[in-house]
Amino acid sequence: MNTVTTRFAPSPTGYLHIGGARTALFNWLFARKNDGHFILRVEDTDQQRSTPEMTRAIIDAMDWLGLDYDRGPFFQSQRKEEYLSYIDSLIEKGSGYYCNCSPDEVEAMREAARKKGLKPKYSGKCRDMGVKPGPDTVIRLKAPLTGQTVFIDQVKGPIYLDNQELDDFVLQRKDGTPTYNLAVVVDDIEMGITHILRGDDHVNNTPKQILIYKALGVDPPLFGHVPMILGPDRKKLSKRHGALSVMAYREMGFLPEAMLNYLVRLGWSFKDEEIFSKEDLIKKFSLENLGSSACIFDTSKLIWLNSHYIKEADVSRLASILAEHLDQSLLPVDQSYLEKIIPLLKPRAGTMKEMAEMAEFFLADDQSLVYDQKAVDKFLTRETEAYLSEIAMLLEKMDAFDQKALEEELGNYIKKREVKFKVIAQPLRVAITGKTASPGLFETMEVLGKERVLNRLKKTAQ
């Protein structure tokens, strides 16, 4: 049995988006599950729209997701000679022929078929005319005129198409370049592809590609077409739903393991499990569990998954990622200090960008800390200023400045002053953080340290 070999074949005319990343992931997982090979092929035949920058961006996105490939990247733009040799082979076998019909003539044929209520297609005029090659000729496949093209879709099940629905489609354009369907078949043959998992927008291409395989005398691979990803309104996924590039999610503070976990659940399931490590996915992935119905992209679910992985992640790793999301005015910052901050923020952050926003008061200069004016007006009153001045004097005398010591010292203070903790808690929080929401007050004070806490208390007392 041939080694399982899958491929991801993006066009570098744009960034890697959610749908493409999911396709890459499914192919990667199937190869890894079966100890096979995963190939990256760049379909850059559209030279006007393909750019090296987009190719680099796609590869960077795959690297970030951890989708390593065993061979490649291969570039279709560098493989023209291979395609032309296969086309020559089809001509020699009588499975391809030259056609000199103009685009206007072909359109007239289609229009005539429409008027008769038939499928609009090329009529086959040049099929048996023995047209010779020339500057205005294309090469067409001599497709079967009767029967059916059948394939067992690994996701959708059996798919049948009457061959009368197809025409003698073009294999090579007038400028000598191969068409998409011919090029991908040649690539998949040469690269030993055994399984093709792709979006169901390619279903209509599959019968054409199977006919090319048959004309070449090669058994086609197994095909599986995964359903579309829709927005919450069940309409085609767009930017307003979250159809952004994969690297945009990195910039928004998502972790790659959360993206992988979320992407795989867009069309695949295993019992009622939601959380999967990469190792779990390789072990449990199967084509049988791919769904045939369209799936819904839910940003809130992605954030929930991301918050889970933030809680699970190593603090030193998060510190490095956090530094990438901090405002440049707060940099540079000591890694060890970030590692003290992160445990306080991990339970509260949905994304690393959100964590960076939460961390700002830890990193801001004491004199330039920004205060929420509503919080100031509500909690930093004349009455609370007296409490804060007294607390500052107590804190100044403390030797140990950790959570336990702070809790004990302030506990004694509220007993002595006969006030409830909430009377001093929010004023103290606003004074040292600038806002009403923060991690635990004593943990926050410990991380900020005695000098900075006192600086901020003195500043608000001015």
Quote the CA–CA distance of 123 and 113 in Å, as a whole number: 9
Work out the angle between the directed axes of helices 180-190 and 80-93 (0-180°, nearest 10): 100
Quote the CA–CA distance of 246 and 16 in Å, as a whole number: 6
Work out the angle between the directed axes of helices 450-461 and 441-448 (0-180°, nearest 10): 110
Q: Is the Cβ–Cβ distance between 169 and 181 less than 8 Å?
A: yes
Quote the CA–CA distance of 460 and 462 in Å, as a whole number: 6
DSSP 280-311: HHHHH--GGGB-SS-EE--HHHHHHHHHHHHH
Residue 144: strand, helix, or coil: coil
Angle (CA) 90 96 100, round 5°: 140
Quote the CA–CA distance of 135 and 137 in Å, as a whole number: 6
Question: 271's torsion region: left (phi>0), alpha (psi -120 to 50) or beta?
Answer: left
Quote the CA–CA distance of 116 and 113 in Å, as a whole number: 5
Q: Is the Cβ–Cβ distance between 55 and 262 less than 8 Å?
A: no
Question: 93, 119, 239, 283: which is the annotated catalytic residue?
Answer: 239
278 given a catalytic annotation: no
**Active-site amino acid positions:** 239
